[in-house]
């Protein structure tokens, strides 16, 4: 896509901590983890949240559009 910079993620699944080390805002990732269609996997016992990085760029674009239109829904 023109004008879109995709990030090269080092792993297929990354935790919120790993993504914040890459520059993502923690509170944004925590909000995204609660969205119904988020590319998220929860560890056993409901502890850590892992994002599927192959789908994260596309999901971020969708969330940016939803937020701009005022349709941010969990």
| pLDDT tens digits, 9-63 | 999 999 999 999 999 999 999 999 988 889 998 887 767 899 999 999 899 888 8
Q: Using an 8 Å Cβ cutoff, are 29 and 16 in contact?
A: yes
What is the pTM for the complete model shown? 0.77
Phi, psi (degrees; rounded to nearest 5) at 2 = -75, 135
Residues in CB range of 37: below 8 A, 6 or more apart: 59
**What's the pLDDT at 3?**
46
> Which among 8, 12, 28, 11 has a CA at the least distance from the CA of 20?
28
């Amino acid at each position: 896509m023109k004008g879109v910079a995709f990030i090269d993620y080092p792993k297929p699944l990354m935790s919120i901590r790993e993504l914040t080390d890459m520059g993502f805002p923690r509170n944004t990732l925590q909000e995204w983890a609660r969205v119904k269609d988020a590319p998220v996997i929860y560890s056993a016992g409901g502890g850590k949240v892992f994002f599927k990085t192959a789908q994260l760029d596309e999901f971020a674009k969708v969330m940016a559009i939803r937020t701009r239109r005022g349709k941010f829904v969990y």
